[in-house]
Amino acid sequence: MQEVKQLSLNERKVLKTLYERGGEGYAEEVQEKGGFNTKDEVISASSWLRYKGLVSLKEEVKKVYALGTEGERLVKVGLPERRALNYLYEKGKISLEELEKCLEKYEVPIAIGWLKKRGWAELEKEGGKVFVKITESGRKALGEETEEERALRLLKDKGYAELDQRIANLLRTRKNVLEEKELVKTRIILSEKGKMLASKGIEIVEEISQLTPEIIRSGLWKERKLRAYDIHLLAPAIRSGRPHPLTQLMKEVREIFISMGFEEIEGDYVESCFWNMDVLFIPQDHPARDMQDTLYCKKPKKMEIDRDLLRVIKEMHENGGNTSSRGWGYRFSEEEAKKVLLRTHTTVNTIRYLYKNPEPPAKVFSIGKVFRRENLDATHLPEFYQIEGIVHEEGANFRQLIGILKEFYRRIGFEKIRFRPAYFPYTEPSMEMEVFWKGKWMELGGSGIFRPEVTLPAGIKNPVLAWGLSLERLAMLKLDLDDIRILYENDLKWLNEVPLL
């Protein structure tokens, strides 16, 4: 609830003035009665009061009049009939022509018309000539101001004014005397809340509403009252720098894996087909290798691969080598293996790690960008981050994999997760994780246990649990986004307003 002590001096003055005037009034009236210097002060204070719900403002368009060019002149010299009357008073009776001595030529018929209409003079014919003679009421009217004259004087004094319609119509019969104008008037009306507050009594005292170093230094603050803060008022938000939501989310993911005992690894964006696909037992005619999905490099076009390792993998693909696998049964191309590409998944990071560190146990993860030849739309990006990870240890099993992933999602804030059977050429069994979001199941990533065809050439005998998840999908869920593109648009308004994760 608003309190009087939270209002500025001018706000109080407006409130008090309105209350004393029965609850409402025009800004001009409030200015006059409230002792304001300008109307602007009243309007400004009233806008604040409206914002605080204490008054409402209504704009009314009023028709007002100002003096026209002829009006300006007439205010100075007098209306034609007035000038004629004065002249007649001196002379008693004059010929019609003589009227031109005190009037402009064009004013003569106007003056005669009004003199007759008002009964100030009479026309007489004598010897073929027309004479004008002052009447009794003409004499009486000498010292009296007509309504029209009063109105003109008012316009001269005030610049503009509202006029009685009848008088305005009278004046309008004369050319260029009046100018019509539209005036916007602001009516200020106390609200129920405003009335209640004002009814408690409003004290008008000078107070300090803004504390300055001068006021503190001079000690003035000790003598004067300080205006109370209204902590309910909305203040402009001060935006400071902050990490991008994706950066924040990455940090959160990193902290979760580290707290679960994982170590972070990294890799390169540019990889060979060999490491990105062949060592993972992805057949060379797999659709994912298609120009559709993979971005190949022109320069360099080829990357050298260790000869011995290349042979082992070639045999694995062709016939299973010295393992019990029968391979894929096609002719492996070394040229294909040497092709250079932008990594399509970060599984290349974990498999490289395993080749370098074949001894268990290992728990590592990576968060990194991957690239695919995909069209940009509301749910797809050609460049996105993957959260990759493996657990390599004796006796690792499928239940453990489910447990780790469930725990990860739980910590990031998703409870409703399901696992579905899936297929990847490098894992068996394989599964897909899905989360229930906005009424439907949404895919989050894949996982599984690396096949012997993948692990045996690296000299690994124990099971390796593996997964790869999309960071942006997580961001979509956490930030409730319908369109994934917003994450990369750098729309400052969105960035400022997006909640902290």
> Given the rule CB under 6 A, which residues bind ligand PHE?
345, 347, 424, 427, 445-448, 466-468
List helix spans (H) across 394-491: 398-412, 452-455, 471-479, 486-489
Token representation of residue 90: 């001196």
Instruction: Using the minimum distance from each CB to ligand PHE, give the nearer residue, 46 or 347.
Output: 347
- State in angstroms the smallest separation of the CB of 386 from ligand PHE: 6
Residue 299, Cα to own-chain centre: how many angstroms?
45
Distance, CA of 276 to CA of 349 (rounded, Å): 9
386-406 burial by CB neighbour count: b if 16+ within 10 A, else e?
A: bbbbbbbeeebeeeebbebbe
- State in angstroms the smallest separation of the CB of 398 from ligand PHE: 13
> Are 468 and 345 spatial neighbours (Cβ–Cβ below 8 Å)?
yes
How close are the terminal C-alpha atoms of the chain, in Å?
Answer: 33
Instruction: Using the minimum distance from each CB to ligand PHE, give the nearer residue, 71 or 448.
Output: 448
- State in angstroms the smallest separation of the CB of 348 from ligand PHE: 9
Instruction: Using the minimum distance from each CB to ligand PHE, give the nearer residue, 10 or 470.
Output: 470
248-283 burial by CB neighbour count: b if 16+ within 10 A, else e?
A: bbbeebbebbeeeebeebebeeebbbbbbbbbbbbb
Instruction: Using the minimum distance from each CB to ligand PHE, give the nearer residue, 186 or 447.
Output: 447
Distance, CA of 221 to CA of 213 (rounded, Å): 10
Token representation of residue 387: 């959260």
- State in angstroms the smallest separation of the CB of 230 from ligand PHE: 55
* CB atoms inside a 10 Å sphere around CB 298: 6
Instruction: Using the minimum distance from each CB to ligand PHE, give the nearer residue, 64 or 431.
Output: 431
Cα Rg of the chain (Å, integer): 46
Give strand pairing partners of 466: 390, 448
Tally the residues of the chain: 501
Instruction: Using the minimum distance from each CB to ligand PHE, give the nearer residue, 321 or 425.
Output: 425
- State in angstroms the smallest separation of the CB of 424 from ligand PHE: 5
Instruction: Using the minimum distance from each CB to ligand PHE, give the nearer residue, 338 or 345.
Output: 345
- State in angstroms the smallest separation of the CB of 462 from ligand PHE: 16
| DSSP line for 272-329 | EHHHHTGGGT--TT-GGGSTTT--B-SSS-B----HHHHHHHHHHHHH-TTSS-----
- State in angstroms the smallest separation of the CB of 240 from ligand PHE: 37
- State in angstroms the smallest separation of the CB of 421 from ligand PHE: 12
Instruction: Using the minimum distance from each CB to ligand PHE, give the nearer residue, 124 or 263.
Output: 263
Instruction: Using the minimum distance from each CB to ligand PHE, give the nearer residue, 190 or 469.
Output: 469
- State in angstroms the smallest separation of the CB of 448 from ligand PHE: 5
